Amino acid sequence: MAAKHPAPAKSQASIPDAPQYTSAGDLVPPVDYRRWIYLTSGLDMSYSAQSSGMSRFDNVFASPAAYSQFVATGHWPDKTILVLEVRGAASKGSINKNGHFQTTNLMGMEVHVRDSSRFPASQYPGGWAFFDVVSRSKATLIPQTAECYRCHQAHGAVDTTFVQFYPTLLPIATQMGTLSATYQADASGNNP
Amino acid sequence: MAAKHPAPAKSQASIPDAPQYTSAGDLVPPVDYRRWIYLTSGLDMSYSAQSSGMSRFDNVFASPAAYSQFVATGHWPDKTILVLEVRGAASKGSINKNGHFQTTNLMGMEVHVRDSSRFPASQYPGGWAFFDVVSRSKATLIPQTAECYRCHQAHGAVDTTFVQFYPTLLPIATQMGTLSATYQADASGNNP
């Protein structure tokens, strides 16, 4: 993807915590995302009828400025970063005997970035791109042909993001009328 | 408890986001805790062999200043507030078919406060007290005879708190040597 996404000029950040890229065109993973705004967690969520067979939590965080703008407008601003952190789930440990808790096993991380100057809407709906965090200093762009793009575009409640699973944001989007038509069609009679 | 805990003089906050109380001696629930630092989530955790039978997520948040001091020292400072938020868990909804996601159903909230000037360590180990949030403006003190005090004191990994279930803080406490003796005894051969 390097040819399509050469090293950018200086950051055109419209909000703090805007995405930063390496000269090779990779995203620099946000180091401080655990101090960002927590949106939700899921356990073993799956969009196919078949379970993944692994037990893991997904934790989602938004950059504080992006979160504040969502609360104010019901939409994600340009330069939004959402981080999906995948952690191991355990059941027996310390005094816990039932259910699931999160472990120190950080199993993976993905980043969803809205950056319309870098990812033109003609190719990346809404200017959003997904990145896979491969190291502390590098997250590689997931090709636009990947299933995640199609599914987020088809089912995301707001701006191709899964606000239907973010319990503090869904009421805001509902009130502000920013829910996508595709989500509303999904949700009729099947509202999470 | 009003007799023992009359309305305090002016707040003696040592950190921002210090606990605030009403003149009746109740805690004012922190309104902005969803912008605080996320520590962990559990699903249907239970410390007894019997499952609760209800499906719910627990989300834990710390005040930013308390979190920063924990990262720096491995201990919670005086005036720490931890919020436990209980949310409904659903499995089928929108495009999700397996596992569990969090719903907009806010089922309850508890607050753990370290405030040594208000809760003397002779009566409240470490100066910690638990509160049950009964409304947006009121959280009532849970009597010191309640089981939660005994269990946190007996099993909490750090300062009577369940750091063993906070995956980003457990390594810090381990490295800084602030794990409690009782937790270490629990954990020998059974580390979460």
Q: Identify the DSSP state of B74.
A: S
Interior angle at CA B173, CA B172 and CA B178, nearest 5? 150
Q: Is B40 in contact with B85 (CB distance < 8 Å)?
A: no
pLDDT of residue B7: 38
pLDDT of residue A91: 85
Q: Do the chains contact at B186 and A99, CB–CB below 8 Å?
A: no
Nearest CB to A101 within list B45, B67, B102: B45
Helical ranges in chain B per DSSP H: 64-73, 147-155, 170-176, 181-187
Catalogue the long-range contacts made by A161-164 (C-beta closer than 8 Å, 24 or more residues apart): A161/A76, A161/A82, A161/A112, A161/A128, A162/B94, A164/A192, A164/B93, A164/B94
pLDDT of residue A1: 35
Q: Do the chains contact at A192 and B49, CB–CB below 8 Å?
A: no
Residue with tokens 């005036």: B79
ipTM of model: 0.86
Residue of B55, B63, B104 for testing the chain A interface, max A β-carbons within 10 Å: B104
Cα(A18)–Cα(A29) distance, rounded to whole angstroms? 11
Two tokens, residue B59: 């989300």
Helical ranges in chain A per DSSP H: 64-73, 147-155, 170-176, 181-187
> In chain B, which residues have their Cβ closer than 8 Å to the Cβ of A93?
164, 190-192
pLDDT of residue B172: 98
DSSP string, B97-134: -EEEEEEEEEEEEEEEEE-TTTS-TTTSGGGEEEEEEE
> Looking at chain B, which residue has its C-alpha nearest residue A93?
B192
pLDDT of residue A163: 97
Q: What would the pLDDT profile of A54-87 be if each residue is shown by its tens digit?
A: 789 999 999 999 999 999 999 999 999 999 999 9
Average pLDDT estimate for A110-129: 95
pLDDT of residue A49: 61
Distance from CA of B186 to the nearest CA of A (A): 6
Nearest CB to A96 within list B45, B59, B105: B45
Q: Do the chains contact at A167 and B87, CB–CB below 8 Å?
A: yes
pLDDT of residue B52: 58
Nearest CB to B167 within list A38, A87, A96: A87
Q: Do the chains contact at A49 and B98, CB–CB below 8 Å?
A: yes
Q: What would the pLDDT profile of B12-71 be if each residue is shown by its tens digit?
A: 445 778 999 999 999 999 999 999 999 999 998 876 666 556 789 999 999 999 999 999
Distance from CA of A64 to the nearest CA of B (A): 8
pLDDT of residue B65: 95
Nearest CB to B97 within list A48, A97, A101: A48
Distance from CA of B159 to the nearest CA of A (A): 16
Is the predicted pLDDT of residue B10 greater than 90, yes or no?
A: no
Q: Do the chains contact at A45 and B100, CB–CB below 8 Å?
A: yes
Q: Is A42 in contact with A59 (CB distance < 8 Å)?
A: no
> Looking at chain A, which residue has its C-alpha nearest residue B183?
A94
| Nearest of B79, B34, B72 to residue B169 by alpha carbon | B72
Q: Which domains are seen in chain A, by residue range?
A: 33-45+52-154 (3.50.70.20)
Cα(B29)–Cα(B10) distance, rounded to whole angstroms? 18
pLDDT of residue B59: 97
Q: What would the pLDDT profile of A130-189 be if each residue is shown by its tens digit?
A: 999 999 999 999 999 999 999 999 999 999 999 999 999 999 999 999 999 999 988 885
Q: Is B178 in contact with B170 (CB distance < 8 Å)?
A: no
> In chain B, which residues have their Cβ closer than 8 Å to the Cβ of A102?
40-42, 165, 167
Stated pTM of the model: 0.88
Cα(A160)–Cα(A156) distance, rounded to whole angstroms? 4
Torsion sign (Cα): B162, B168, B172, B177:
positive
Q: Do the chains contact at A98 and B49, CB–CB below 8 Å?
A: yes
Residue of A37, A52, A98 for testing the chain B interface, max B β-carbons within 10 Å: A98
> How many CB pairs below 8 A link A and B?
156
DSSP string, A100-137: EEEEEEEEEEEEEEE-TTTS-TTTSGGGEEEEEEEETT
Is the predicted pLDDT of residue A96 greater than 90, yes or no?
A: no
> In chain A, which residues have their Cβ closer than 8 Å to the Cβ of B61?
38
A154 φ, ψ (degrees, to nearest 5): -80, -30
Q: pLDDT band for position B189 (50/70/90)?
A: low
Is the predicted pLDDT of residue A12 greater than 50, yes or no?
A: no
Is the predicted pLDDT of residue A11 greater than 50, yes or no?
A: no
> Looking at chain A, which residue has its C-alpha nearest residue B50?
A98
Q: What would the pLDDT profile of B98-135 be if each residue is shown by its tens digit?
A: 789 999 999 999 999 999 999 999 999 999 999 999 99
Torsion sign (Cα): A41, A44, A48, A54:
positive
Report the percentage of chain A scoring pLDDT > 90. 75
Q: Do the chains contact at A38 and B42, CB–CB below 8 Å?
A: no
Nearest CB to A190 within list B38, B64, B94: B94
Cα(A161)–Cα(A173) distance, rounded to whole angstroms? 12
Residue with tokens 């005879």: B145
Residues B148-180, buried b or exposed e (16+ Cβ, 10 A)?
ebeebeebbbbbbbbbbbbbbbbebbbeeebbb
Cα(B143)–Cα(B127) distance, rounded to whole angstroms? 14
> Looking at chain B, which residue has its C-alpha nearest residue A95?
B47
